[in-house]
Amino acid sequence: MTMKPTDNHVHSRWSWDTAASSSMRLACARAVEIGLPGLAFTEHVDFTHWSQQDSAELARPSGTAVVPPARIAARPRVAPLDVEGYLADLARCREEFPDLRILSGIETGEPHLFPASVAAVLAAGDFERVLGSLHGIVYDDTLTGISNALFARMDAHEVMRRYFADLVVLVDGSSVFTVLAHCDYPRRYWPTARAGVYAEADFEEEYRSVFGALASSGRALEINTRSPLASVDLLRWWWREGGDAVSFGSDAHEPFRVGEHFDRAVAVAESAGFRPGRDRFDFWRR
């Protein structure tokens, strides 16, 4: 029987969008219950305003258009990650669950736009698993969060194409992360009733542009099981663009969702030719 992979994308109460009842301890207990070898608490690191240091980074000529610092869309006020409290909680779980590999981590939102702010968080602790993610696109000269409302204002195919284009900019513009999370995040909000069934093939060129950039940097692609599950064809595009590693992530914001749909995700990965890595905590590889 194929061994279960580590869940490399889990949120707990230390993430700003996660309930206080979503404790690390309950997530660890769930991982043990379903037979996972380990999990990574990759808490959200998001920003709703620009620091002067971020602005200075953005002002450097790069040949790539970025969002003016004054034009970031309003999002819920994001509490900064309490690194000290997070690490203390994680240490207690490591003591209580000695047979479970518990990794520290963060999920960096738009790290290419907030390089100094992300660097400050990374300097505050030892983070073993760092995810990079994009939760918004530039719309009307403003960084705007992906939502049903955005799909109501824009053509659905244009949302996806703009997202993929910005994702290439993220991959090329930040080296702080080792795993690209939910590579087609807007797909969660795809308006099927208005735009028809989502078809990966409609965006093959865009997917492969992202995969080529990511593969050339030697990083891993996440199979996110909270999003509509990636197909075997999509993972084969990843491999054909040079990608050789995949990471499994439930993106759980509630303990009972740790490792959710991993059986299906493993079947997809195996069908695409990926197998467990050097040990049971490693990425899966071809």
Q: What is the pLDDT of residues 14-49, one digit of tens each?
A: 999 999 999 999 999 999 999 999 999 999 999 865
User: Of 249, 170, 219, 186, nearest to 11 (Cα)?
Assistant: 249
**Tokens 């703009």 identify what position?**
162
Query: Which of 94-103, 122-131, 140-149 is the least confident region?
Result: 140-149
The per-residue pLDDT for range 137-163, each reduced to its tens digit, is 888 877 888 999 999 999 999 999 999
User: Of 46, 126, 56, 132, nearest to 91 (Cα)?
Assistant: 126
Count of residues making up the chain: 286
AA letter at 113: L
**Tokens 């992202």 identify what position?**
210
7-285 CATH pick, 2.60.120.10, 1.10.357.10, 3.40.50.11540, 3.20.20.140: 3.20.20.140
- Do the strands 142-145 and 136-139 form a parallel or antiparallel pair, or are they unpaired? antiparallel
**What's the start-to-end Cα distance of the chain, in Å?**
18
The per-residue pLDDT for range 185-226, each reduced to its tens digit, is 999 999 999 999 999 999 999 999 999 999 999 999 999 999
Domain boundaries, the chain: 7-285
Q: How confident is the model at residue 233 (pLDDT cuts 50, 70, 90)?
A: very high
Q: Whole-prediction pTM value?
A: 0.92
